[in-house]
Amino acid sequence: MQQARILVVDDQRDVLDALRLLLKGEGYAVELVTSPAGAMEAVGSGEFDAVLTDLNFTRDTTSGAEGLELIEQLASTDPVLPVIVMTAWASIDVAVEAMRRGARDFIEKPWDNHRLASVVRNQVALRQALEQGARLKAENDLLKGIREPFIAESPVMQPVLELIERVAPSQANILITGEPGTGKGLLARVIHDLSPRKDGAFISVNMGSIPETIFESEMFGHVRGAFTDARQDRVGRFELAEGGTLFLDEIGNIPLSQQGKLLRVLESGEYERIGSSRTRRTDARIVSATNADLPSAIGSGTFRKDLLFRLNTVEISLPPLRERGEDIVPIAEVQLRELGERYQRDIGGFEPEAAEALLNHEWPGNVRELRHVIERALLMASGKRLSLADLNLGTPDHVSRPGLDAMTLEDAERVLIRGALERVGGNVNRAADALGLSRSALYRRIEKYGLQ
C-alpha cells in the first residue's frame, strides 16, 4: 500500500520538527509548510491524505482567523481531504467554528502524542475509504463481466478474489461459508458471471424453505398424475438450471431424510421426475452456501459427510464485514445508489461524520444489516447527503419502531421476525422455535418480507 502523505502547517520551526519526527515514526510521508499560502501551494501541486494545521499565524496570533480561512479554502479545493486543526489558543467557540467550516477534528497544544497519532490514523483511513467509494461510483464495477458490483478492496478479501479467479471458470462444485448476511448469494452470482455458464440460467433455491413432503417435486420435478395434486407436469430446479448454475442456499438446513436424494444426483448426475421412469442427466454446476458449522453437524449426525465432500470440491470462506474496513463505505455507497433508484430519492452520498460512523460500527449483521441501515436512513433523510443522525447507529433498532397499535398485521410480523433473527444471530432453526413456527413456515415469511 502506498505511503500516506501528511501536510503539516505551522509557523513555529520547533513544532514542525516535533510533528515531523512523530508522524514519520508512524510511517507517514510528511511535508512541512509555514503559512496558509504555502499550504495551498502544496495542495495544488500534490495529493495528501490529511492536513494538520495551526489556526494562528503571524498576521493574527489569537483569533484563529487565518486558520479558519485556510480550512474553507482546503474544503473548497478537496471536499474529502481531512483537516485536523490545532492551536494553543483553544476554546470551544473556535473549535465549533473550525468544525463548521470543514475541519474533521481538533487538537489542543501541547498535544498528546497517542491521541494525535490516533486522530491522524483515523482520518487517513476515512479519506482512503471515501476515495474508494468515489472510484466505485465512477467505475460502477470492480470486476469485469459481473452484473452486480462486487466490492473487495480490503486485504482479507484478496485471497477470496484470487480463489474466485482460479475456480470460477472451472466446473467444480463450490461451497461458500460465512456468517449470516455476509453476501454469500452475491458471491455465488459473481462465480456464475465469471464462468463459461454466464449466459445460462442462475437458479437459486433456499434449501431450508422447502417442506420435506415436496422436496423431490421442487428439485427434480414431477409428471402429471404422479400424485393427487399433480395436475400438470412440473419442471424441477435441476432442470431449470440446465447449462447454468444451481445455487443451493442454506444447504446446512436440508433435512437429513432428503440428503441422500441430493447426494445421488451429485454423484451420478442422474435423476427422475416423480412419476416418470425416464432418467435424466443434469448439466448444472452446483454452488452452495451455509452459515452452519457442517463439521459439527456431521459429528452430531444431522449432516452427511459424503454429501459435504460432494459439495465442497472448493470451499470459499467469506469474511465478516467487521474485518473488511476498506470495503464498508464503498459497499454503503453502492447500496445507497441502488436504494435511491428504487425509492426515487436523490441522496448524493454521506457526510464525513456519517462515513466515519459506518467505519466504526461493529456490523454484527454484516452486509445485510448495513443495507437495512442505509434503507432506513434513506427514507428518513431530509438533506442531500446522509448524516450521522440519519444513520441512527447509536440507537437500538426497537426504539425507532412504532408501537403495535400503529402497525398493520404484516408490519408487526416483519418486526417480530426480524427481532427474533437478530436475537439468535440469524439462526433460522432457533428463531423458528422462539416464534413457534416450523422452519419452512419461517423461511416463507423471511422471503415474503425480504429479510434475507
Q: Are strands 174-177 and 314-317 parallel, antiparallel or unpaired?
A: parallel
Q: Tell me: domain 322-394, CATH 3.40.50.300, correct?
A: no
pLDDT by residue, tens only, the chain of 452 residues: 568 899 999 988 899 999 999 999 989 999 999 989 999 999 988 889 999 998 887 655 666 788 888 998 888 888 888 999 887 665 666 767 888 888 888 888 888 898 899 889 888 887 777 666 555 444 344 355 566 678 888 889 988 988 998 899 999 999 999 999 999 999 999 999 999 999 999 999 999 888 888 898 999 988 888 887 778 888 899 999 999 999 999 999 898 989 999 999 999 999 999 998 899 999 999 999 999 999 999 999 999 999 999 998 999 999 999 999 989 999 999 999 999 988 898 888 898 889 989 998 999 899 999 999 999 999 888 888 999 999 988 644 433 444 555 566 776 787 788 878 877 767 787 788 778 887 777 887 887 776 75
Topology given in CATH for the domain delimited by 155-317: Rossmann fold (3.40.50)
3-class secondary-structure state, position 286:
strand
Side-chain half-sphere exposure of 252, counting CA atoms within 13 A: 20
Nearest to 51 by CA among 132, 72, 346, 61: 72
**In the chain, what are the domain boundaries?**
5-137, 155-317, 322-394, 398-452
Q: What pLDDT is recorded for position 299? A: 92
> What pLDDT, on the 0 to 100 scale, is given for residue 140?
40
The 8 Å CB, 24+ separation contacts for 419-422 are 421/446, 421/451, 422/365, 422/397
- Provide DSSP, 1-66: -PPPEEEEE-S-HHHHHHHHHHHHHTT-EEEEESSHHHHHHHHHHS--SEEEEES-BTTBSSS-HH
What's residue 395's pLDDT? 44
Q: What homologous superfamily does CATH list for 398-452?
A: Homeodomain-like (1.10.10.60)
What pLDDT was estimated at residue 398? 38
Closest among 359, 420, 367, 352 to 82, alpha carbons compared: 352
**For residue 398, with 0-12 CB atoms within 10 Å meaning exposed, 13-18 middle and 19 or more buried, which class applies?**
exposed
CB burial of 4-40 (b: ≥16 within 10 Å; e: otherwise) equals bbbbbbbbeeebbebbbebbeebebebbbbbbbeebb
What is the CATH T-level fold of the domain 5-137, as seen in this structure?
Answer: Rossmann fold (3.40.50)
For residue 4, give the nearest of 136, 127, 156 by alpha carbon.
127
Say what the pTM is.
0.61
The yes-or-no answer to whether 322-394 and 398-452 have a common fold is no
Predicted pLDDT of residue 266? 93
Question: What is the distance between the alpha carbons of residues 225 and 381, in angstroms, rounded to a whole number?
Answer: 55
Identify the pLDDT of residue 401.
45
The DSSP output letter for 350 is: B
The Cα–Cα gap between 121 and 123 comes to 6
CB 257, CB 205: distance < 8 Å: no
114: Cβ–Cβ under 8 A, 6 or more apart, which residues? none
pLDDT the model gives residue 230:
76
Q: Give residue 112's Cα distance to chain centre.
A: 35
Place of cell 520547533: 14
Q: Which residues contact 197 (CB under 8 A, 6 or more apart)?
A: 243, 244, 245, 285
DSSP sequence for 293-315:
-HHHHHHHTSS-HHHHHHH-SEE
Identify the burial level of 45 via C-beta atoms within 10 angstroms of its C-beta, where 0-12 means exposed, 13-18 middle and 19 or more buried. Answer: exposed
d(CA 415, CA 419): 6
Cα-Cα-Cα-Cα dihedral of 299, 218, 271, 305, to 10°?
-10
